[in-house]
Structures are given as structure tokens and as C-alpha cells.
Amino acid sequence: MAYTTDQYKGIVAETITIHGHNDDEVHAYMAKPLGDGPFPGLILIPHALGWTDFHKEMIHKFAYNGYVAVCPDIWCRAGHGEPEDVVAKVRSEGGLADDQVVGDVVGVASYIRGLSVSTGKVGLMGSCSGGRHTFLAACRTQGIFDAAVEGWGGNVVQPQERLTGAQPISPFEYTKDLSCPLLGLFGNDDQNPPPADVDVHEQELKKFGKTYEFHRYDGAGHGFMYYHMPLYRQEQAMDGWSKVWEFLGRHLSS
């Protein structure tokens, strides 16, 4: 519904604790609209900057637009400090394990569905490494997510030389198991994922008859929707947001 000035808008937001992979306690940031709902859920997987204010602002944005939105601190097992320091530690220790991230977002989905204001529908979104995690989680789970938004997922098509102990299998290999509709947003000047990898990603989705839509932007590179970074491209970013709202509205409305 388009915003009109007579609407009474409000959100509530706070830090919460959810049970993630291995039933570990994981911090998360949640925001939801005022009122009894019911509201669809949206999980935002943070990217390489860490669990930052940027992601919390995004959570506010989703809540303001009608979603129970939650962003988990997927690095929290490494301890607490400034987000970039936490991420730096995890990076030097081999990075986040794919299994752990998938387990954490499944835990967030369960938390959202347990809320009295939930419609039961839950979407998933992430960009960069979070885009990779989004696609991975949407493939490696069934019946958990109702829609997934992958923003420029680096290493979705992950070559052998980039596989690690924490990331032992390329997400691309799981394409046949994708469990929900997928929206992909990509910049054509991106180096990771480069357009050639996005082509491969798309061909595999077609091969398995998956429901997806990709939007690929000229004049945009990696992270083109990060308004706080030099990579930001206003025109492409605003179009990207319009695609996000339309897609989520279509697949998460009751």
C-alpha cells in the first residue's frame, strides 16, 4: 500500500536472542511494525562488514514496510567487539562454516514463526557473502523459506580453488534443491560474481525449472545498493529496491 500522510506508522526494535545452529544462543536484531499483524517475516543475512548498524537500519526499513524483520549476528560465537574486528578474527580463522550459517537462519525462521504476529511466511535476503548464504540456505532447507533475495552473491558459483573447510561445496551444486522463488540482483561491472558466473547460475536455475527472476544492471558493480559506500549507484539501487518490494509482496503476502 502506497504511503499516505494520514497513516499511523511505527515500529518497535530491539536486540533479541534466538537459538541457531546446534541450539546455540545467537544474538539478533529484530524490528516489527506496531500492531497485532499478522505480518510476514524477513531474515536479513549480514555481509562481510559484520553485524553492523547498516544492517540494523535495513531491518528498520523492512519493519517500516510491514515485515517482522530479523538480522542474526552470525559471527557472535567469535566474541564481541567492533563489527569489523569480529569479522577479521573469523576471517583469519577460516571464515564462517556454511552449516552453521544455515542452521542459524533456520533458527531465526523458527523464532519468527513462533511470534503471535507472524503470518507464517518467511523470506530471506542477503548480499555479497550474505547473498551466497541466502541462496545456500534456500537450497539446503525445504519448507522453511517462502522467498529468497540474493544480492550479488559472490562465490555462488564457487570454483574448486576457493572451496575451504568451512565452505566445502559450491552453492551452485545445490541448485536442483532450491526450495522457494528466487530474486537475483546483480551489477554487470561486478568482478565477484562476474557476469559470466551469473550466466552459469541462471542456466542452472533454468535447467531445473526453478522459479526465479534475475535483474542485471549496467553501470553498477558489486554492492551497488550500499548507500554508505562508494559503490552506491542511486538509479540502479532504487530500481533494485522496487524489485525487492514487488517480489516479497508477491510471495510473502498471505
Partner 1 sequence: MCSNIVSIGDIEGFGRGVDGWFDLKQAVITFDHALRLPVDHAITIDFVNRDKGLSARVPVELTAESARELIRVIEMALAEGQEQHLTLEPSQEH
Residues forming the site for partner 1 (CB under 8 A): 47-49, 78-82, 84-92, 95-96, 128-129, 132, 154-155, 162, 164, 167, 190-192, 221-223, 229-231
Residue number with CB closer to partner 1 (19 or 91):
91
Task: Give the strand order in the sheet containing 68-72.
Answer: 11-19, 25-33, 68-72, 39-45, 118-127, 147-151, 182-187, 212-217
Distance of alpha carbon 248 from alpha carbon 61, whole angstroms: 14
Residue number with CB closer to partner 1 (23 or 161):
161
Nearest approach, Cβ of 182 to partner 1 (angstroms)? 19
Look-up of cell digits 526499513:
61
Using alpha carbons only, how large is the chain's radius of gyration in Å? 17
Q: Name the 3-class secondary structure at 98.
A: helix
Residue number with CB closer to partner 1 (89 or 176):
89
Nearest approach, Cβ of 24 to partner 1 (angstroms)? 19
Nearest approach, Cβ of 129 to partner 1 (angstroms)? 5
Residue number with CB closer to partner 1 (26 or 180):
26
Asked if residues 157 and 116 have their Cβ atoms less than 8 Å apart, the reply is: no
